[in-house]
Structure 1
Amino acid sequence: MNSDFWSPILISLQTAAVALFIVVILGILIAKSMSRSKFKGKLFLETILLLPLVLPPTVVGFLLIILLGRNSIIGSILESFLGQPIMFTWSAAVIAAAVVAFPMMYQSAKTGFLSVDIRAEEAARVDGASEWKVFLSITLPLSAKALVAGVILSFARALGEFGATLMFAGNLPGKTQTMPTAIYVAFESGNMEAAWLWVSVIMVISFLMLLSTRLLN
């Protein structure tokens, strides 16, 4: 097993880990603000947030190109700031993985926050606790199972991302080639031994993560 074998594994793990960091922060913050709030257009906004869950990954990749490609306003700003286009970089792979994994974290976090007894939060507020302290000492601990499940499922989804990554980040060996894209290339080129090895690795990781979510129940 040489560096050509380990490179997609390491890139996948690094990409999924950074994407997970992003979706955990955004998922928790947005889910907390949305869980018990009521405002006009909430249903529409939530539908947009969950859309990557049902959209084909290639559609997500296409939309990322439109929104962040060098011909877009945002893409032009990022290019001038970074000194290069965001597409076909490792950062693009992280963005693609984060976008498709976000709905998992958001939905799990929202479910967890809604399961918290609001009377416990109100009692803490009556005792003088700030909103931040209520969140850290009451809300987070009581929704921990749902949050952990969201973390695991989000990481697994980011690890297995293929379509959006291939379109937006490309398949550059040693740079943006993740396990799913490496499996595709190996299969297309007839290198079944390498394909099976990468398939085995990602199946073992995914199985252990899915098993851990089951053990939480």
Structure 2
Amino acid sequence: MRFEWNEFASPVWISVQVALAASLIVFVLALAAAKWMAKARFIGKSTIETLLLLPLVLPPTVVGFVLLMLLGRRSWIGEAYEWLLGQPIVFSWTAAVIASVVVAFPLVYRTMKAGFEEVDMELEDAARSQGATEWQLFRWITAPLASRSLTAGYLLGFARSLGEFGATLMIAGNIPNRTQTIPTAIYVAVDAGNVQLAWALAGATVMLSFLMLLAAGRHSKR
């Protein structure tokens, strides 16, 4: 069974857009959380870290269900969003980004945190004693020393966002030319018996993910 070009190009383009947006958001959130948790010492730290990593082990459908309850039209968040923007969060491109952010966050956070933990605190203390601000410490000492982990975290976040399926299907649906990403398009293609389209989309996913992982691996060895 042959397929139209748009049946292939649209899911790929939407997936790339979602992955780019989600990986940027995750990068900022994970950077802040990892920087804080890497050096912080307080009661309940292990509990907070467990919560941050929880989406990593939960089934994506469970994550999607929780998000649906939190962001659905009957939730106060969903109602406020719809009142402000005139459209619901669920079954939108924004919902697909949110699902990817939640699912990719733990992986990126753990990668970045490992990099921050390797930074020698004595270097930061020495610079701090010379009057350096926290921003200067981060810019000139912490970020350069942890740059491998930061870059690897971003690339892994992009790859993970690209392949998100369960949570995306739950809160963003499978609307062609709007929320249909590569994984959901593959599911529909297989269900319809369009193996050629499924192979083409799977090949695109493998290629993009391979390039991201290859880049992450090469950067970590520099």
Is the pair's TM-score, using the shorter chain for normalization, greater than 0.5?
Answer: yes
Which of 63, 82, 85 matches 2:88? 85
Mapping 1:4-15, distance limit 5 Å: 4-15=7-18
Match in the other structure for 1:68: 71
Q: Secondary structure of the equivalent of 1:149?
A: helix
Alignment TM-score, normalising by the size of structure 2: 0.95
Deviations 1:106-164 (A, max 9, x none): 11111111100111111111222111100111000000111111111111000000000
Q: Which moved more, 1:119-128 or 1:168-177?
A: 119-128
Match in the other structure for 2:118: 115
Unaligned runs of 5+ in 1: none
Residue 144 (1) aligns with residue 153 (2): no
In structure 1, what is the Cα distance between the partners aligned to 2:7 and 2:207? 20
The one-letter code sitting in structure 1 at the alignment partner of 2:108 is M
Moved over 4 A (4+): none
Q: Which moved more, 1:63-72 or 1:33-42?
A: 33-42
In structure 2, what is the Cα distance between the partners aligned to 1:83 and 1:77? 10
The one-letter code sitting in structure 2 at the alignment partner of 1:67 is L
Contact 2:24–2:154 under 8 Å retained in 1: no
Alignment TM-score, normalising by the size of structure 1: 0.97
Q: Secondary structure of the equivalent of 1:47?
A: helix
In structure 2, what is the Cα distance between the partners aligned to 1:209 and 1:85? 32
In structure 1, what is the Cα distance between the partners aligned to 2:198 and 2:22? 24
Kindly state the Cα deviation for residue 212 of structure 1 after the two structures are TM-superposed: 2.1
Residue 47 (1) aligns with residue 50 (2): yes
Residue 20 (1) aligns with residue 23 (2): yes
Residue 201 (1) aligns with residue 204 (2): yes
Identity %: 54
In structure 2, what is the Cα distance between the partners aligned to 1:21 and 1:208? 18
Deviations 1:141-190 (A, max 9, x none): 00011111111111100000000000110000000000000001000000
Residue 101 (1) aligns with residue 104 (2): yes
In structure 1, what is the Cα distance between the partners aligned to 2:69 and 2:63? 10
Kindly state the Cα deviation for residue 80 of structure 1 after the two structures are TM-superposed: 1.0
